[in-house]
Amino acid sequence: MNDIQMQLLIDLHKSNLRQGPGGEAETKKMLKLADIDKSKPLKIADIGCGTGNSSILLAKELNAQITAVDFLPEFLEVLQSQAKAHKEHKVAEKITTLNCSMDSLPFATEEFDLIFSEGAIYNMGFEAGVADWKRFLKPGGKLIVSEITWLTAKRPQELQAHWDAEYPEIDVASAKIKILEQHGYCLEAYFYLPVHCWKDNYYLPMQKGFDAFLERNGQSTQAKEIVEGEKAEIALYEKYSDYYSYGVYIARKL
């Protein structure tokens, strides 16, 4: 991906509430299943936070200091602006942003009570991520991470070929759970994101912004290619949503 393509993708996604599938109710469900004590002071890392929808919700729901990590400073600028708008929960005081790559985090050993990563760990790979981040968790600390996951043992060849090319680590939940266990975690809960997290909360807002995005970028060939690529992804999900989603894995460091 060249610099122009990257800037176009940032422009398309930074004004949206989410940069991937998810939902407020689902994030709250994650915290409930993880049995997070809302009264206890916590240190949390939100890795691959995007524009910070989940970081802000964590700050509102928990007594926590949150380090929100993303490699795109444009997303972190949006997060900082949005956090200031939630004055009643002192959200901005609870969130510190960190512009760096998730595979070179500068954290101390056993620094965090909770590591949270929604729809982002694929950037370094699921196994690499859970193995590397474990050292930053306190003993008994929790990991909440979502990862693209097959929902069935078999799937159509067209879909298999697409994901083999895009992200070969995609697998069924049992394989992901085995990886967690092999790296010293105990699974506490698992669920997968329902269709509305994809269609209503992610794809629909993106689609509504296509025309304005193209207009902002002069109807350029590269902007049109970005839109066509997103439309192809949406069409694939609409055709095959029974076969894959984001699985949410909630695990404890042993």
Burial class (CB in 10 A: 0-12, 13-18, 19+), 69: buried
Torsion of CA 71, 223, 82, 247, to 10 degrees: -60
CA pair distance 64, 46, nearest whole angstrom? 12
Sign, CA dihedral 19-237-249-110, equals negative
Q: Could you give the residue ranges of the DSSP H alpha helices within the chain?
A: 3-13, 24-33, 53-61, 73-84, 91-94, 126-133, 157-166, 173-182, 195-198, 204-208, 210-216, 221-240
Q: What is the mean pLDDT of residues 115-140?
A: 97
Per-residue pLDDT at 88 exceeds 90: no
Q: What is the DSSP string of 203-245?
A: IHHHHHTHHHHHHHTTT-HHHHHHHHHHHHHHHHHHHHTTTEE
CA pair distance 230, 160, nearest whole angstrom? 18
Closest alpha carbon to 105 in 122, 91, 118, 124: 124
Question: 64-79, pLDDT tens digit by residue?
Answer: 999 999 999 999 999 9
How far does the chain reach from its first CA to its final CA, in angstroms?
A: 39
pLDDT at position 25 is 98
Question: 144-195, pLDDT tens digit by residue?
Answer: 999 999 999 999 999 999 999 999 999 999 999 999 999 999 999 999 999 9
pLDDT at position 147 is 98
CA 193 from chain centre, in angstroms, equals 12
Q: What is the mean pLDDT of residues 73-92?
A: 93
Phi, psi values for residue 231, rounded to 5°: -65, -40
At 25 the three-state DSSP class reads helix
- Predicted model pTM: 0.96
Per-residue pLDDT at 89 exceeds 90: no
* Mean pLDDT computed over every residue of the chain: 97
- Which class is 20-195+243-253 in CATH? alpha beta
CA pair distance 28, 134, nearest whole angstrom? 23
pLDDT at position 1 is 79
Percent of the chain with pLDDT over 90: 96
Q: How confident is the model at residue 95 (pLDDT cuts 50, 70, 90)?
A: very high
Least confident of 24-33, 72-81, 83-92: 83-92
